[in-house]
Structure 1
Amino acid sequence: MALNLSIGSDGPDSTRLALLMIVVGVAVAGYGGYDYTQQSEAVANAVEVDATVVETGVEESSSRRGGVEYHPTVEFRYRYDGANYTGTDVYPASTQSNFDTESAARSVLDGYGEGERVTAYVDPNAPAAGFLKAEESTAPMKVIGVGGLFALFGVVSVLRS
C-alpha cells in the first residue's frame, strides 16, 4: 500500500498531511515551551557550586540551511550535597544553542579553560543537571517559533483545501 501525499493538492491525503503538520508543530512548540519553563525554574532555583572544567571544545555539524553550525561543548565535575557529578551543559536548557561561526561558539566558553576551577550552578531539585551559566538560552524560544510556523503552515493548508 503506497502512501501518496502531496502538499498543494486537494483531497483527503493533503488534509491528513496538513493535520499531521499541525500536530507535529504543536508538539515541537510544546516541547520548546516546556524546555523554556524548565530552564527558567533552574535559573531561579540555582545554587552555586565549585566545579573543575575537564574539557572544552566546539562540535561542527551540518545545518538545516545547508551550511555548517557550531556547538560549544564542555565537561565539568562538581560536588553537591555529598555526591559527585559530571556536567555537560553551558546553559540549563536541554535545547542547546548553535552558532554560525566557530569563533562565536568558542566565545561562549571564554573563561572556562581546561583544568580551571569555576563556579557552576545546580537546581537542588535536579542536582545531576548542572550548568555553567545561570542565564536563559534563547534556544527554546527558537524551537517554539519553528513549531509554531510548522503548525501555522498546516493550518493554512487545511484552510486552502
Structure 2
Amino acid sequence: MGNSGTGDTDAEDASRLPVRPPKPGKAMSVFVLLAGLGIVGVGAYSYVADSGTLENRVQITAEVSEVGVEQLQGSRGRESYVPAVTFQYRFRGTSYTSDRIYPGTTQPRYEDRAAAQSRASAYAVGERVTAYVDPGAPGQAFLEDSRSGQATGAFFVGVIVSLIGGLGLYQARREARARERLS
C-alpha cells in the first residue's frame, strides 16, 4: 500500500491520521494569553471611558449625606473594603444622589478596613463638597477629578499576563520543534 505517485493514497493516509488535542502546556499558554488580552481590553476600555467622562465633566456643589465603609466578599473568600461616600446634588434642575468617588463604575477596594476608612474620612456628613458630573450621565457624579488607577493597573496586569502566556506558547512551540528534529 504505500505511495503509488497518484496522490490518492496520500489523501487516504492523511485522513486516517489521529487528530491530537493541543499539548497541556500549549493549551494553558493559549488560555493565559487570551485571558491576558481580555484583561488588557477591559483596562483599555475603562481608561477610555474614564477619559471621556473627565473631558466632559462639569463642576457642581454637592452635600455629603452618608460616609462609611462597605465590606465586600473578595476573591478566594477574602474580604475587601470600599469607602462609601453618598452625596446629593442638583444638576439642570433635577436632584440626584451618587456614591462614586471616581469616574467610572469601578471604585477602589482596600484589603484593610482602616485604609478604606481613612479614604472615606476625607468627607463628613453635611459637608458641602465639589463634585463633577458628565452632562451625558447626570446621575453618575463623582468626587475626585482624576482616575482611580484601576484601569491603568488592569491594563498593565493584562500585558504581563499576556507576556507570560506568549512566552509559554513560544516555549511550547520551541519544544515541539525540538521533538520534530529528534524524530
The answer as to whether partners of 1:32 and 1:141 remain within 8 angstroms in 2 is: yes
| Amino acid in structure 2 at the alignment position of 1:142 | G
Stretches of 4+ aligned residues off by more than 6 angstroms: none
Cα RMSD after superposing both structures: 2.4
* Structure showing the higher helix proportion among its residues: 2
Query: How many equivalent pairs are there?
Result: 152
Q: Which residue of 1 aligns with 2:121?
A: 110
Worse-superposed segment, 151-160 or 38-47: 38-47
Q: How does 1:144-159 map to 2 (within 5 A)?
A: 144-159=155-170
Q: Which runs of 5+ in 2 are unaligned?
A: 1-20, 173-183
**Higher relative contact order (CA closer than 8 Å, sequence separation 6+):** 1
What TM-score comes out, normalization by structure 2 length? 0.71
CA separation in 2, counterparts of 1:75 and 1:34? 26
**Residues 117-154 of structure 1: CA distance to partner in whole angstroms, max 9, x if unpaired?**
22211011222221011122211111112222221221
1:54 — aligned with what? 65
Q: 1:4 is matched with which residue?
A: none
TM-superposed deviation, 1:91: 0.7
Deviates more, 1:12-21 or 1:64-73: 64-73
Q: 1:124 and 1:45 mapped to 2: Cα distance?
A: 7
Deviation string 1:94-115 (CA, Å, 9 cap, x unpaired) is 2222234333322322342123
Q: 1:29 aligns with which of 40, 43, 47?
A: 40
How much has 1:40 moved relative to structure 2? 2.4
Matched with 1:7 is none
Does the CA-based 8 Å contact 2:36-2:158 persist in structure 1? Answer: yes
> Which of 1 and 2 has greater Rg?
2
Distance 1:139 1:107 in 2: 19
2:65 equivalent to 1:15: no
TM-score of the aligned structures, taking structure 1 as reference length: 0.79
Deviations 1:40-67 (A, max 9, x none): 2322321112222221212334665986
Name the counterpart of 1:71. Answer: 82
Question: Identity of counterpart residues, as a percentage?
Answer: 34
Q: Distance in 1 between matches of 2:139 and 2:44?
A: 22
The code of the aligned residue for 1:28 comes to: I
Contact 1:69 1:98 in 2 (8 A): yes
**Separation of aligned partners in 2, 1:157 and 1:65:** 26
Question: Which residue of 2 is the match for residue 6 of structure 1?
Answer: none
